[in-house]
Amino acid sequence: MSIVLWAAALAFTATLMVSVGESRADEPIVITIKNHKFTPAEVKIPAGKRVELTVVNDDPTPEEFESKTMKVEKVIPGKSKATVRVGPLDKGRYNFFGEFNEATAQGFVVVE
């Protein structure tokens, strides 16, 4: 009987761990522009889902969040933030850049 209870407790714990792991995919993804650079420069998102990225522009000048591979363009005025929706995307690595400061504002979305 104790083996059955132990197995049930183990199965319940595994279910909780999977649930917690899945909920992390729904956490907000924030990318900050500061000194004409993106931080973090790489974010991970799940494959096959539409995801919202919050882009915070801490610089006093506007920047355009752009990605040809993700088919998105969004101008974010200085000292403001915007929501950028991407996906659903296939697994892979997709670049994004700041069109107004392309030499320094570079990043990637990694789809897993």
**Complete domains list, the chain, with CATH:** 25-111 (2.60.40.420)
Q: What is the pLDDT of residue 17?
A: 40
Q: What is the pLDDT of residue 1?
A: 52
Q: What is the pLDDT of residue 100?
A: 97
Q: What is the pLDDT of residue 103?
A: 97
The span from the first CA to the last CA of the chain, in angstroms, equals: 41
Q: How far apart are CA 36 and CA 102, in angstroms?
A: 9
Q: What is the pLDDT of residue 27?
A: 77
Mean pLDDT in consecutive groups of 10 residues from the start of the chain, 112 residues? 50 42 61 98 97 98 98 98 97 98 97 96
Q: How far apart are CA 31 and CA 65, in angstroms?
A: 10
Q: What is the pLDDT of residue 3?
A: 59
The verdict on pTM exceeding 0.85 is no
Q: What is the pLDDT of residue 10?
A: 45
